[in-house]
């Protein structure tokens, strides 16, 4: 157990070190407190949901591992989320999907409405958090030949259009009830495994479907839509209808947010470079923080070089207010609650390290072509005591410091998770 007096002592020294280069650590801590992460509920149950939990995962989605204690009911999932939220500094949000509706009736995806998410709203009010939404366009028999909104069959498109419309009603309900804007993220798995003849037709159908879904206007104080592209997926290796460029253009032309998932790009691409190219033209971003390993494998987020570049870009270009940061990964080889905590805390640490820099001074050096100072200072910053500031941030938010949170997880495993099996 880390002693509070040792944390305060280390923080005092770190504060003095950063002050020497013009960085006020107290202000940085206050800035980080304002950043809300959007936790993805599906890490807790391997994306089974409650509407058709035995349905095989489709859309190129797969979860590996069988760590004991998977959440099987709404109460188990919210209990696990609550435990994770107590170990992550600050107040945040939770992302849901259509398939997480809680109803005692037999309902199809296109019949799910706000009334089926009252359970979640009541829970969110108790937790003091917001909710984001995602319409589910996978794990359903009406995903026909890997197509939904871009399907050549009108009846298939009409079904999924209704799912999208219902999702917007739900997101608006979240915003009105919780007093926080609900981001409604649209991702579809449509595409071809092998080379198509017609590349234009599916995209024209997708445009028409999305335009119909978004016809009704909602107060953006309550909800706003985001559209998410993908490089490829299992089963659609040759052609993805909703590509990055497609959604980039759609977001700009329709005044929507563009969702950038860190795992949906070529491994050698710098995802962080996309932000400054889009934001001068676009409304804003939804960011899904994920970690690809060789492909879009959605590993638990760690504080690696890719995440550091992402957070630096957002902080240095002052784009945090226009960017919604969500998590999106799933791993059943480790404790699912611990995965949330590891990924969220890693993201916050990367944000903190990005904020702990004399950014204005570095920009001045750059503008005066003093690239020597730019490189020297950014290299020296890597060994500055940001860990002591992180510990203070945890202490001020009354969350465990260092690996102390792991003791809580192990106890939760004994008391709760292992008893489920």
Please check if 304 is assigned to a binding site: no
Q: Is the alpha carbon torsion for 348, 351, 357, 358 positive or negative?
A: negative
Give Cβ neighbours of residue 173 (< 8 Å, ≥ 6 apart). 114, 117, 121
Is there a catalytic annotation at residue 132? no
Residue with tokens 């993220």: 185
Catalytic one of 225, 228, 331, 391:
228
**Strand 223-228 to strand 182-186: parallel, antiparallel, or no bridges (unpaired)?**
parallel
User: 40, 256, 288, 349: which is the annotated catalytic residue?
Assistant: 288
| Active-site pick, 132, 328, 391, 392 | 328
Contact 391, 10 (CB under 8 A): yes
Rounded Cα gap, residues 354 and 352, in angstroms: 5
Please state, in angstroms and rounded to a whole number, the distance separating the CA atoms of residues 262 and 347.
Answer: 12
419 is catalytic: no
CB 129 within 8 A of CB 94: yes
Tell me whether residue 24 is one of the annotated catalytic residues: no
* Residue 328 designated active-site: yes
Catalytic one of 177, 298, 335, 392:
298
Element of type H or E holding 208: helix 200-213
Q: Which residues pair with 147 in a beta bridge?
A: 144
Q: Is 264 a catalytic residue?
A: yes
Whether the Cβ atoms of residue 124 and residue 130 lie closer than 8 Å to each other: yes
Cα–Cα distance, 145 to 148 (Å, whole number): 9
Q: Which of 20, 36, 19, 37 is nearest to 28 (CA)?
A: 19
Q: Please tell me which residue in 230, 244, 274, 283 is annotated as part of the active site.
A: 230
CA 141 to chain centre: 27
Active-site entry in 120, 187, 258, 265: 187
Q: Is 116 a catalytic residue?
A: no
Whether 296 is catalytic is yes
Task: Check the annotation: does 266 bind a ligand.
Answer: no
What phi and psi values does residue 80 have, to the nearest 5 degrees? -65, -40
Given 46, 132, 177, 261, the catalytic residue: 261
Of the listed 92, 166, 264, 274, which one is catalytic? 264
Residues with catalytic annotation? Answer: 187, 228, 230, 261, 264, 288, 296, 298, 328
User: Could you tell me which residues are annotated as the binding site for Mn(2+)?
Assistant: 264, 296, 298
User: Could you tell me which residues are annotated as the binding site?
Assistant: 264, 296, 298
């Amino acid at each position: 157990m880390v002693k509070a007096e040792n944390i305060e002592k280390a923080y005092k020294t770190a504060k003095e070190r950063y002050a020497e280069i013009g960085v006020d650590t107290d202000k940085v801590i206050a800035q980080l407190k304002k950043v809300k992460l959007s936790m993805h509920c599906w890490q807790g149950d391997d994306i089974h949901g409650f509407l058709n939990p035995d349905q095989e995962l489709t859309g190129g989605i797969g979860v590996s591992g069988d760590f004991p204690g998977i959440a099987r009911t709404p109460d188990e999932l919210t209990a696990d989320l609550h435990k994770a939220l107590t170990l992550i500094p600050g107040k945040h949000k939770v992302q849901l999907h259509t398939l997480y509706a809680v109803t005692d009736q037999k309902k199809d995806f296109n019949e799910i409405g706000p009334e089926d998410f009252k359970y979640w709203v009541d829970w969110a009010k108790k937790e003091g958090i917001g909710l984001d939404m995602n319409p589910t366009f996978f794990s359903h028999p009406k995903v026909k030949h890997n197509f939904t909104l871009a399907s050549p069959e009108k009846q298939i498109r009409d079904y999924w259009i209704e799912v999208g419309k219902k999702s917007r009603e739900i997101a608006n309900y979240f915003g009105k009830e919780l007093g926080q804007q609900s981001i409604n993220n649209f991702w579809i798995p449509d595409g071809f495994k092998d080379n198509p003849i017609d590349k234009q037709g599916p995209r024209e159908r997708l445009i028409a479907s999305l335009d119909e879904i978004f016809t009704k206007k909602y107060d953006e104080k309550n909800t706003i839509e985001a559209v998410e592209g993908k490089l490829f997926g299992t089963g659609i290796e040759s052609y993805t209808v909703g590509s990055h460029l497609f959604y980039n253009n759609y977001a700009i032309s329709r005044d929507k947010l563009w969702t950038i998932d860190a795992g949906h790009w070529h491994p050698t691409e710098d995802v962080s470079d996309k932000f400054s190219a889009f934001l001068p033209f676009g409304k804003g971003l939804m960011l899904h923080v994920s970690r690809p390993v060789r492909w879009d494998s959605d590993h638990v987020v760690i504080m690696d070089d890719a995440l550091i570049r992402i957070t630096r870009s957002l902080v240095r270009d002052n784009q945090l207010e226009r960017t919604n940061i969500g998590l999106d990964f799933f791993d059943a080889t480790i404790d699912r609650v611990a995965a949330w905590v590891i990924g969220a805390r890693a993201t916050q640490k990367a944000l903190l390290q990005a904020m702990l820099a004399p950014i204005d001074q570095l920009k001045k050096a750059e503008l005066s072509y003093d690239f020597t100072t730019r490189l020297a200072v950014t290299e020296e910053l890597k060994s500055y005591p940001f860990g002591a500031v992180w510990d203070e941030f945890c202490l001020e938010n009354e969350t465990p410091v260092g690996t102390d949170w792991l003791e809580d997880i192990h106890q939760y495993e004994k008391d709760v998770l292992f008893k489920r099996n």
